[in-house]
A and B are shown apart, each in its own frame.
Chain A
Amino acid sequence: MRNIWIIFRKELRSYFASPVAYLLLTMFAVVFGFFFWNALGYFVFVGMESQLRGQSFPMNINEQIIRPLLSNISIIGLFLIPLISMRLFAEEKRTGTIELLATSPIRDSEVIIGKWLAAVGLYSFMLLFSALNFVFLFIYGKPDWKPFALGYLGLLLQAGGLLAVGTLISTMTKNQIIAGAATFAVCLMLWVLDWVTGYETATWARVLAYMSVITHFESFAKGVFNTKDAIFYASLIFLGLFLTTRSMESLRWRS
């Protein structure tokens, strides 16, 4: 535990000692800010329209603002996650500091979990920026907080899974760009896999769709805690991190 904490702290400091963290946070804050402003603007426009026409449409902040915005975050996340995870091992391999970690009295698994937690930590920081926007909804409206909290839990789980995959890919190369690009490709594939269900209902199509990270997020966005979806993300995290330990081990035997 102590070792994981040491690695976690060091990684998080590295993010904030370089421009990486600030760049990612700024990018996210700007992009999400625009999404939020847009969603709110549309909501207000529909509300005014319904008043002008004298008809009352059912208006719901949770359904019309929070739910689509949470889905938006999960997609912005797909683009930013490779940027978070790509340096984790690739950089240590390039500068040779991996030799320090590998010859210190600390297990590979502790290094991996520490690094992964730091990546999840940075992502949570980003989520905090999006939550700042939502604060206004709670000040001026009365949204239900439960689907909101569950949505964030889902976002964290989803990012945890993808970051585990990114960590795995980062152990495979010395080059951060390659690690980032490959992670991005995998994230993108995991996003669009469910498209096949649009025209195909065979078993293979359902299996493919099941592997899509986005389909499992829908229940969280709706504010429903679906154990099956939570288990999917948990297994993705476990599989990713487990394969990372194997990859680290194979590095030693091969190099």
Chain B
Amino acid sequence: MISVKDLTKKYARSTAVDHISFEVQKGEVVGFLGPNGAGKTTTMRILTCFLPPTEGTATVAGFDVLEQPLEVKKRIGYLPETPPIYPEMDTTEYLTFVGRLKGLSGSELRRRIDDVCERCSIGDVKKKLLGKLSKGYRQRVGLAQAIIHNPEVLILDEPTAGLDPKQINETRDLIRSLAGDHTIILSTHILPEVEQTCEKVIIINRGRLMATDSVENLQSRARGAESVLVEVASRNGALDSQAVVQRLQQIAGVSRVLSKEGRETRAIFEIESLKNKSVRGDVARAVVEGGWDLNELRSAAASLEEIFLQLTQEQKEIQEEPAEVPA
């Protein structure tokens, strides 16, 4: 649906986007992740035909952003960083204007306005001036504007910025409900948001592509091994954690056992196993057979936060290396 090849955008003094390539399939929800100033907005602006690329190509639904911008624009719904609203218009008037711009008219337009007002829960401010709305409402009117013509591709630049926690959840639900029929790219620097709404992540930093993969793959890739957290309790008296560690280490495939939190009668152990080797069943059996209680067993997936820090950190080291070589 979206295909980006060697995309580069240079400004007068800096390079905002540096040879980025990625593909997004139809119906995917992709999170565009990076610290502030990483080049997320610039990339999105190129995809929406707002800015032309310096080098490379970007195509949306098979149309090149430079060659056939009108065709691309017809298929895109875009929510910029600041919602593009006219303060002197009321919500209905504004959505009517945007709908007409996108080619809707008559009863279809009215139907779409009712529909997006309901989806974005802005029905109660239909007759209010946009200039008088709170930040959260403005953001949602901006989102309503982006989906008014039911576009194939949605590009959302920080869709949850400035919302309160309840609104953030509602917006994420809305985005999830749009997935499937729509291809969605959303940018954010809030990591849990990506974990909750996206299937695929594109991480960029300082204009460079750091990683592009599914959320699960990234998580397992960061560790190189699966790790399991297990809470063990003794049936009577104090728990001999040393014995537990010994017992767990005997399981085939376990590479390391760490005692993490020890109390008198129960303790938490972190078990690292080799890649592609599921040890959870064996761990459970070993604990029960050893005469202990199994309180909890869960996989300790690396959070995206760690992956993100790892990836952006690695690049820093690479970049700083040459500086250390004496001239």
* A interface residues (Cβ-Cβ under 8 A, vs B): 3, 6, 10, 13-14, 17-18, 95-107, 252-255
Q: Determine the distance from Cα of A101 to Cα of B50 in the docked complex, in whole angstroms.
A: 9
27 contacts between A and B (CB under 8 A): A3-B101, A6-B97, A6-B100, A10-B86, A10-B97, A13-B89, A14-B86, A14-B88, A17-B88, A95-B84, A95-B85, A95-B87, A96-B80, A96-B81, A96-B84, A98-B84, A99-B45, A99-B50, A100-B84, A101-B101, A102-B49, A104-B101, A105-B101, A105-B103, A106-B101, A107-B70, A255-B51
CA distance A255 to B93 in the complex (A): 30
Known: A10-B86, A100-B145. 7 other contacts (CB 8 A): A3-B101, A14-B88, A96-B82, A100-B80, A102-B50, A104-B101, A105-B74
When distances are taken between beta carbons in the complex, the residues of chain A under 8 Å from B86 are 10, 14, 95, 97
A22 to chain B, nearest CB (A): 13
Residues facing A in B79-116 (CB within 8 A) are: 80-82, 84-89, 93, 97-98, 100-103
Chain B: which residue is nearest A97 at the CB level? B84
Are A17 and B89 interface neighbours, CB within 8 A? yes
Given contacts A100-B98, A104-B101, A105-B102, whether A18 and B88 have CB atoms under 8 Å apart is yes
User: Bound state CA distance, A103 and B151, in angstroms?
Assistant: 13
CB nearest neighbor in A for B48 = A103
In whole Å, how far is B122's beta carbon from the nearest beta carbon of chain A?
17
Contact at B84–A252, with CB atoms within 8 Å?
A: no
Shortest CB distance A176–B (Å): 14
Give CA–CA (A14, B130) in the complex, Å. 13
A6 CB contacts on chain B under 8 angstroms: 97, 100-101
Q: 5 closest A-B pairs (Cβ-Cβ)?
A: A100-B84, A17-B88, A105-B73, A103-B48, A104-B101
Interface residues in B44-79 (C-beta closer than 8 Å to A):
45, 48-52, 70, 73-74, 76, 78
* Complex CA distance for A220 and B240, rounded to whole angstroms: 106
Chain B contact residue count (CB 8 A cutoff): 29
- Chain B residues with CB under 8 Å of chain A are 12, 45, 48-52, 70, 73-74, 76, 78, 80-82, 84-89, 93, 97-98, 100-103, 145
Question: Which residues of chain B are near A102, meaning CB under 8 Å?
Answer: 49-50
Candidate in B48, B76, B86, B87 with the most chain A CB atoms within 10 angstroms: B86
A113 to chain B, nearest CB (A): 15
**Which B residue sits closest to A106, measured CB to CB?**
B101
Cross-chain contact B70 with A99 (CB below 8 angstroms): no
Contacts of A104 in B (CB 8 A): 73, 98, 101-102
CA distance A101 to B69 in the complex (A): 13
Residues of B within 8 A of A107 (CB): 70
Residue of A99, A100, A107 with most chain B CB atoms under a 10 A cut-off: A100
Closest CB of chain A to B5's CB: distance in Å? 20
> Given known contacts A10-B97, A105-B73, A252-B52, is B84 in contact with A99 (CB within 8 Å)?
yes
A110's nearest neighbour on chain B, judged by CB, is B101
Contact A105 B70 (CB under 8 A): yes
Complex Cα–Cα for A95 and B45 (A): 16
Q: Name the B residues within 8 Å of A253 (CB-CB).
A: 52
Q: Which residues of the other chain, A, contact B85 by a CB distance below 8 angstroms?
A: 95, 97
Nearest A residue (CB) for B155? A103
| Nearest CB of chain A from residue B80's CB, rounded to whole Å | 5
**Which residues of chain B come closer than 8 Å to A17, judged between CB atoms?**
88-89
Q: Give every chain B residue within 8 A of A254 (Cβ-Cβ).
A: 12
Chain A residues with CB below 8 A from B49, complex form: 102-103
Q: How far is the CB of A99 from chain B (nearest CB, A)?
A: 5
A99 contact set on B, CB distance < 8 A: 45, 50, 78, 80, 84
Contacts of B81 in A (CB 8 A): 96
Smallest Cβ-Cβ distance to B97: which chain A residue: A10
A132 vs B32: C-alpha distance when bound (angstroms): 60
- Residues on A with beta carbons closer than 8 Å to the beta carbon of B76: 103
CB distance from B10 to the nearest CB of A (A): 11
Closest to A16 in B: B88
- Whether A103 lies near B50 (C-beta < 8 A) is yes
Shortest beta-carbon distance from B92 to chain A in Å: 13
Which residues in A have their C-beta under 8 angstroms from that of B98? 100, 104
Q: Which residues of A contact B50 (CB under 8 A)?
A: 99, 102-103, 252
- B74 neighbours in A (Cβ, 8 Å): 105
A215 to B187 CA separation, bound complex (whole angstroms)? 57
CA distance A105 to B102 in the complex (A): 6
A18 to B89, CA, bound (A): 10
Query: A10 to B89, alpha carbons, bound, how many Å?
Result: 9
**Distance to closest chain A CB from B148 (angstroms):** 11
Q: How far is the CA of A217 from the CA of B70 in the complex (A)?
A: 41
Least CB distance from A106 to B in Å reads: 6
Residues of B within 8 A of A255 (CB): 51
Residue of A nearest to B100 (CB): A6
Quick one: closest B residue to A15, CB to CB? B88
Residues of A within 8 A of B93 (CB): 13
